[in-house]
Amino acid sequence: MDEKIEVKESVYERNDRISKETKEFLKSRGVLAVNVLGAPGAGKTSLIESVIKRAGIRSYVVEGDIESDIDVKKLGEQGIEAVQINTHGACHLDAPVVKKALSEIEFSEPGILFVENIGNLICPAELTIGEHAVMLVLTVTEGSDKPYKYPLAFQKADVIVLNKTDLLAYVEFDERYFLEGVRTLNPDAPVFRVSAKTGAGVGDVVEWLKERKKNTI
């Protein structure tokens, strides 16, 4: 039993060590790393695309998916280069796998790195991957009960983006109930109402990222 516990701890310890190294490396290059979490179909890729187009700042992207390179191609069509990680079953990214992906990127200028984690509100919240900030993406179509059902992701978030607000008129979304749930878990993270599709509210996310970069890097 002792041996098993030791092995498990050392996996987490190794992850934390590599995560810390990644953070420091990226900081030395003037790059803010953002770990983007959200359920399948939350619009993480569309949000990243929308933010990059408005930010006017050098951006780098790593796309995490179990299979496929759909999101890298989607970003490529918009002139945004991205590196794909396929986990082939693993339900979250970890620091070693992100570090390996980052070795393919030449961080030639200061800027922002977006790491889109696997579409999953549970497991990705448990591990750091070298980020300076966690961005949690929700949608109004998912329903307003998500903070109550997936508390850890909300606790870990530095910024919360409520996406697909263009669909608010067609769904039942109790924003007060949602925000009450968020505030119980996380009193400080700002919550931005956004439509990555129309661009509404995306400017607020950009401003927050720039401020965070200024204060962190």
Kindly give the pairing relationship between strand 31-38 and strand 133-139.
Answer: parallel
Is residue 66 a contact partner of residue 118, using CB atoms and an 8 Å limit? yes
From residue 108, how far is each of 23, 105, 131 by CA, in Å? 16, 9, 19
- What order do you get walking across the sheet with 111-116 strand by strand? 82-86, 59-65, 111-116, 31-38, 133-139, 159-163, 191-193
Cβ 141 to its own copies, closest distance in Å? 4
Question: Quick one: which segment of 21-29, 104-112, 165-173, 203-211 binds its own copies (CB under 8 A)?
Answer: 165-173
Cβ 57 to its own copies, closest distance in Å? 27
The CA distance from 92 to 51, in Å, is 23
Q: Binder to its own copies among 98, 142, 189, 209 (CB under 8 A)? A: 142
- 134 lies in the binding site for its own copies (CB under 8 A): no
Q: Binder to its own copies among 56, 79, 89, 187 (CB under 8 A)? A: 89
The CA distance from 32 to 29, in Å, is 9
Q: Binder to its own copies among 60, 114, 150, 208 (CB under 8 A)? A: 150
The CA distance from 175 to 82, in Å, is 34
Cβ 196 to its own copies, closest distance in Å? 12
- Which of helix, strand or coil describes residue 209? helix
Question: Quick one: which segment of 24-32, 47-55, 99-107, 120-128 binds its own copies (CB under 8 A)?
Answer: 120-128
- 36 lies in the binding site for its own copies (CB under 8 A): no
- 11 lies in the binding site for its own copies (CB under 8 A): no
- 4 lies in the binding site for its own copies (CB under 8 A): yes
Give φ, ψ of 148 to 5 degrees: -70, -30
Q: Where in 59-88 is the site for its own copies (CB under 8 A)?
A: 65-68, 70
Nearest to its own copies of 22, 195 (CB atom): 195
Instruction: Tell me which residue of 48, 208, 63, 36 sits closest to 136, measured CA to CA.
Output: 36
Nearest to its own copies of 154, 208 (CB atom): 154
- 176 lies in the binding site for its own copies (CB under 8 A): no
Residues in the chain: 217
Nearest to its own copies of 123, 217 (CB atom): 123
From residue 59, how far is each of 51, 112, 177 by CA, in Å? 10, 5, 35
Residues forming the site for its own copies (CB under 8 A):
4, 39-41, 65-68, 70, 89, 91, 118-123, 139, 141-143, 145-146, 148-152, 164, 166-167, 170-171
